[in-house]
Chain A
Amino acid sequence: MHKKLFAIGLLTLFVLLLAACAPGAAEPETIEIEVTRIVEGEPEVEMIEVTVQAEPGIYQGEEINFLTIQPHAVASKAVATWFEEETGARVNVLVVPYANVTEKAVLDVTSGAGEYDVIEYWYPMLGSLVENGVLTDITDWWDEKGTELEFDDFLPTYRDLFTEIDGSRYGVPYDGDLHLLWYNTSILDEYGLEPPETWDDYLTVCQTITEGGGGEVYGCGIMGAKVPLILIGTFINRLGSYGGALFDAEGNPTVNSPEAVLALEALVEESEYALPEPSAVAFDELLGGWLTGKVGMTEFWTDLGQMTDNPEQSTITGEWGVAPMPQGTGPGAQTVAPINAGFGVGVSTSAQNPEVADAFLEFVVRPDIVVRANTIVGGLDPTRVSTLDDPDYRAHVSDSVADAIKAAHANAVAWPTNAQWPELQEILNENLSLALIGEKTPQQALDDTQADWEAILGEAS
């Protein structure tokens, strides 16, 4: 009898011990995850707190792969973790440089590899991705979920531009990106200058500071490296403000219009006084100059304020201001906000797990998730109107930035999204670069672009 009791007691103790060793199945647990982001070529480690759901989610044990770009690595990993926490599905975030994301997506589908379920894409490539059969048509899903997920709340400038080709939907807005004019308040105060309202003022301010800076400080930083996203973005900042456009309403190229030539002439003239050498300045080089207080003004995306206020990477915390992009001159002059960059996410046509991929898409556009993703330093900017009024977001970026973004959307200028754009942008990029280094005049560079574009589009039609 004693032996039996002893055996039962021992068994009970063993079971209790096992239960004690098991993970706290009933209680949600808050853990910290380490996410790394590349800033100026250096990895920056950030800890994010997440709550791990104890209850098994509806997609427990499922897995999808999410192709994202390097500048959004932190945000995408965070969103993936939140999705896993809620649904149980694991999202493997596969990070590639932003310049290579389109080729990766196309190759994945055309080669039959089928590695990616969800793809992040740069919106000007949307037409090409659709033509190449990379993105799934989600029009029905869009119509079905539109009310529930408040698609009317998307900023009108992004809603169709990032998602629609020929009346069909292929993705959802993920990162809203436009350029604003940022200035270093200390440098401008030192020279008694105001932020410029026109590109003529911009040139004067830039020249004044550069000539007084003795090679230590430059009036402006201009990104002119020969990368389409960079150089064409810089050109479009001016093109729209002089009243020019790449195409007219009928889709005919107008890249050598008088307004476009004025815009390029302004860019070439300003480059003379910019942080050396604009033709070698891309994202990293510009940030290097700006964050060390060498640059008086720059055209940049809306998260520059957060980067500038990070004391680990900046020597000018709090010394910044933001303004709308300057106006051009002439009859068509206006203030514009060019949508340089801007990303959507869609489901790959070769997705291995389309059901979970759809669920992930639904998750990333949910208003609460958008706010959450926009209030971490992760590279994502608002895509929803409501986010710009959200108290958490406004506290995160400052009222001045939130208001500047809201104001900018009134005059947003978009890049083309047609299927020929990858080829057209290479030609424009080449000619802009040649103009910037003086091997072609602005007129010649844009005339050559116009001629090539007409030939390509004529052939295509």
Chain B
Amino acid sequence: MKSFLERRAPFIMVTPTLLILLIIAVVPLVYVVGLSFTGSTLAQPFNEFVWFKNFRDAFHDEVFGKAIVNTLVFAFSVTTIETLLGFVLALAFRGEQRLGGIVRTLALIPLFTPPVAIAMIWRLIYDPNSGLINHYFQQWGIFKNSVAFLGQPYLAMPSIMLADIWQWTPFTFLLSLAALQALPKAPFEAANVDGASRWQIFRRLTLPLVSPMLIVIFMFRFLIALKVFDLVFILTYGGPGSATNVASFYIYRIGFTQFKTGYAAALSILVLLLISVVTTIMTLGRDVILKRLN
């Protein structure tokens, strides 16, 4: 017969962890939800209960709507490109010993570099007057006049995407490489013995085996991309116009330049709900894809 303490031991042992989780995750969430129903400002939190007014305002806020669209376009575009590019690079360097080691080390540099520093580097690269791209492209005769990458509405978002792809492709590359190196050897040896072509091996073995991991990488990266802030803050401040205004940056401006923390909290809740919906759809999509591949 176990004593009471012995029976309850597992619960007692996880209690501190649960409490910490409660404090660092649940309490702020409850605080933000509470804030979203008030007309709070930075200096006067919970000053006035406004029910759903902030949420109603959000649905009529055109700038916020545009910011959500921009966020989704940005996240989906960069995640797709980075996942594909990272996988292709991983395939290319999978068998390389010495060169692969060097590339893996180099790939860590953008990951180690602070995002603000990366944004500043790209701001200098894009500068229409003294930037690297304009300098060489004009020298080589590709551009007749200098191009303001961050000043044209149709170029600003792709320019931010390019900087993001440079920063994050190493992440997908390293994870894809790890996934490829972890594949079992036996099926590949059998396929070689059976005389399968390289394309057949890739199509019938590599891709199905590595797909679950690629989908996880895609989802991870997508969730991170939805939170893009640094690049927008440093490179364009959301402009020109609303061309690069993304959700996190817009919420920051509402909360910290207009001090409307109640409204900013409501926008945050809406973004959280959106991310939850997108994640659920992606999880369902992953199951369908995996079923088909299997």
Binding site for B on A (CB under 8 A): 41, 102-103, 106-107, 109-110, 128, 131-134, 215, 225-227, 275-281, 285, 288-289, 292, 294, 422-423, 426, 430, 433-434, 436-437, 439
Contact = CB atoms under 8 A, between A and B. Distances in A.
Contact of A288 (B42, B130, B144, B153): B130
B65 interface: no
14 contacts: A41-B120, A109-B43, A131-B43, A132-B42, A225-B237, A275-B129, A276-B147, A279-B148, A280-B149, A280-B240, A288-B127, A289-B129, A426-B253, A437-B243
A136 to B, nearest CB: 15
A210 to B, nearest CB: 10
Interface stretch (B209-217, B256-264, B277-285): B256-264
B63 interface: yes
A109 B45 CA distance: 13
A285 B128 contact: yes
A106 B151 CA distance: 32
B236 interface: yes
B146 A276 contact: yes
Contact of B145 (A103, A215, A227): A215
B187 interface: no
A437 B145 contact: no
Nearest to B260: A423
With a 10 A CB-CB cut-off, give which of A278, A280, A422, A437 has the most chain B CB atoms: A280
Contact of B259 (A41, A288, A422, A439): A422
B240 A215 contact: no
B41 interface: yes
A332 B156 CA distance: 38
Contact of A106 (B130, B239, B259): B259
Contacts of A128: 259
A101 to B, nearest CB: 11
Contacts of B253: 426
Given A280-B236, A285-B128, 7 more contacts: A277-B150, A277-B240, A279-B240, A279-B241, A288-B130, A294-B129, A434-B242
The interface centre, meaning the residue of A109, A422, A434, A437 with most chain B CB atoms within 10 A of its CB, is: A437
Contacts of B147: 276
Given A226-B240, A433-B239, A437-B241, A41 B153 contact: no
A289 B147 CA distance: 14
A276 B258 CA distance: 30
A215 B146 contact: yes
A276 B145 contact: yes
Q: Choose among B129, B144, B242 the residue with the greatest number of A CB atoms under 10 Å from its CB.
A: B129
Contacts of B152: 277, 279, 437
B280 to A, nearest CB: 33
A5 B41 CA distance: 78
Contacts of A276: 128, 145-148, 151
Contacts of A433: 239-242
**Chain B at the A interface: SS class:** loop
Contact of B239 (A103, A110, A279, A289): A279
Contacts, number: 104
B151 A110 contact: no
Interface size class of B (residues with CB under 8 A): 35 or more
A103 B257 contact: yes
B258 A278 contact: no
A226 B124 contact: no
B128 A277 contact: yes
A56 to B, nearest CB: 39
B238 interface: yes
Interface in B222-260: 236-243, 253, 256-260
Contacts of A131: 43
Nearest to A435: B241
Interface in B182-203: none
A110 B241 CA distance: 32
Nearest to B153: A437
A280 B151 contact: yes
Contacts of B153: 437, 439
Nearest to A134: B43
A285 B127 contact: yes
A434 B241 contact: yes
B259 A225 contact: no
A439 B152 CA distance: 11
Contacts of A110: 42-43
Interface string B29-71: 0000000000001110000000000000000000100000000
Contacts of B149: 280
B154 to A, nearest CB: 10
B257 A422 contact: yes
The 5 A-B residue pairs whose C-beta atoms are closest, nearest first, are A277-B151, A226-B239, A280-B151, A277-B148, A279-B240
A281 B43 contact: no
B148 A280 contact: yes
A440 B43 CA distance: 35
Contacts of A275: 128-129
A41 B43 contact: no
Contacts of B146: 215, 276
Contacts of B237: 225-227
A131 B260 CA distance: 13
A132 B144 contact: no
A280 B128 contact: yes
A380 B120 CA distance: 26
A422 B255 CA distance: 11
Interface in B138-170: 138, 144-153, 156
Given A133-B43, A288-B129, A102 B257 contact: yes
B241 A439 contact: yes
Given A226-B237, A439-B153, A426 B257 contact: yes
Contacts of A134: 43
B251 to A, nearest CB: 13
Interface centre among B243, B257, B258 (most CB of A within 10 A): B257
Contacts of A439: 153, 241-242
Contacts of A289: 129
A437 B240 CA distance: 7
Contacts of A292: 129-130
